[in-house]
Amino acid sequence: MSSAIAVADTRDGELCAGTGQALAAARLLAGADGSLALLIVAPEPAGLAAAASFEGVERILTVEAGSGTLPSEVVAAAASAARETAAAAIVFAHGPDAMAAAPALAVELGAALVTDVTAIAAGGSGSLLTRSLYGGKVAADLALPAGVPAVVTVRSGSFTPPGEATPPTPEPLAAPDPDPAYEHLGYLEPESGNVDITRAELLVAAGRGIGERENLEQIEAVAAAFGGELAASRPLVDAGWVPASRQVGQSGRTVEPKVYLAFGISGAVQHLAGIRDAGVVIAVNSDPEAPIFRVADYGAVADAVEVAEGLERVRGG
């Protein structure tokens, strides 16, 4: 019998969506009969434990962390939990926290490491883990080595969280000794300007394909004309054209508008991860091979700015 641990994805005293998804992947790795534990490393973990209503979780292990949870705390807590439960797999939701902790945990435990996993198939001789290569052009299946645990991180939206159930009584574990090599200095909230693109019903998004910075005004004009919010892919945020609060994708926001209208966005996997739950995706891009056309409902191979001008005219009457 096998056991697996999911490490809770938390922020600001709340469980994030990645927690249920990591649990679902941990269940697949543990097998239907395997035992499943949820590890919560956070300041004041008791409240999070009470909210962790997931079916199939046998144990909830909690570790009290400092105000800014440090990767070193997560690694130490996960390593001791993995040893205590003889876990065959420790699963994280892929993202900046997991990128800081999972590789160090794998080295600490002498474990295998497979990150950004999109599917897990149970096989006779062991699980096959699927991940993307070359920006999603090909997928790769990997087999885990026998006799060692595996540290796995899973891509957002790839696994369906378990149903609801009353959480088991949490079991507090000893907090690891603080590591003097690290000091948390504080969080900086994004400059949002009171924008929350995750709540918008219509997002009009711009990417590198819009060309010059001045063309951004044209995309903003379309957003304004149709009553939508402006969003952007990472390169425009990196260039400082658009604030980070409007960034869609793995390192930005996951959005679920009714309509996502993308101008000049090629559709890197990191971006597409953020629009998985969008209703209708419309993409305008001059490159007919742009990956976004593979996930869009409507596509147009055209100059993004010319179409945006056209849209403003249509709407302007």
Closest to other proteins by CB, 55 vs 220, is: 220
> In whole angstroms, what is the distance from residue 40 CA to residue 30 CA?
19
Closest to other proteins by CB, 159 vs 293, is: 293
Q: How far is CA 305 from CA 44, 146, 216, 224, in A?
A: 49, 54, 9, 15
51 binds other proteins (CB under 8 A): no
Closest to other proteins by CB, 6 vs 74, is: 74
Closest to other proteins by CB, 46 vs 100, is: 100
Closest to other proteins by CB, 56 vs 136, is: 136
Which of 29, 37, 28, 33 minimizes the C-alpha distance to 6? 37
CB 51 within 8 A of CB 41: no
Select the residue interacting with other proteins from 261, 265, 273, 275 (CB under 8 A).
Answer: 261
Tell me how crowded residue 206 is: count the other CB atoms within 10 A of its CB. 30
Minimal distance, residue 163 CB to other proteins, in Å: 26
Which of 171, 27, 19, 172 minimizes the C-alpha distance to 98? 19
Tell me how crowded residue 239 is: count the other CB atoms within 10 A of its CB. 12
DSSP code of residue 66: -
Q: Under rule CB under 8 A, which residues in 275-314 are in contact with other proteins?
A: 279-284, 289, 293-303, 306-311, 313-314
Q: Under rule CB under 8 A, which residues in 185-244 are in contact with other proteins?
A: 185-192, 201-202, 226, 234-235, 237-239, 243-244
Which of 39, 87, 91 minimizes the C-alpha distance to 61? 39
Q: Under rule CB under 8 A, which residues in 100-159 are in contact with other proteins?
A: 100-104, 106-108, 110-116, 128-129, 132-145, 148, 150
The CA radius of gyration of the chain, in Å to the nearest whole number, is: 21
Select the residue interacting with other proteins from 58, 182, 199, 213 (CB under 8 A).
Answer: 182
Select the residue interacting with other proteins from 83, 184, 199, 213 (CB under 8 A).
Answer: 184
Q: Under rule CB under 8 A, which residues in 60-99 are in contact with other proteins?
A: 68, 70-72, 94-97, 99
CA atoms within 13 Å, Cβ hemisphere of 66: 17
Select the residue interacting with other proteins from 14, 58, 171, 183 (CB under 8 A).
Answer: 183
Q: Is 119 exposed, middle or buried (0-12, 13-18, 19+ CB in 10 A)?
A: middle
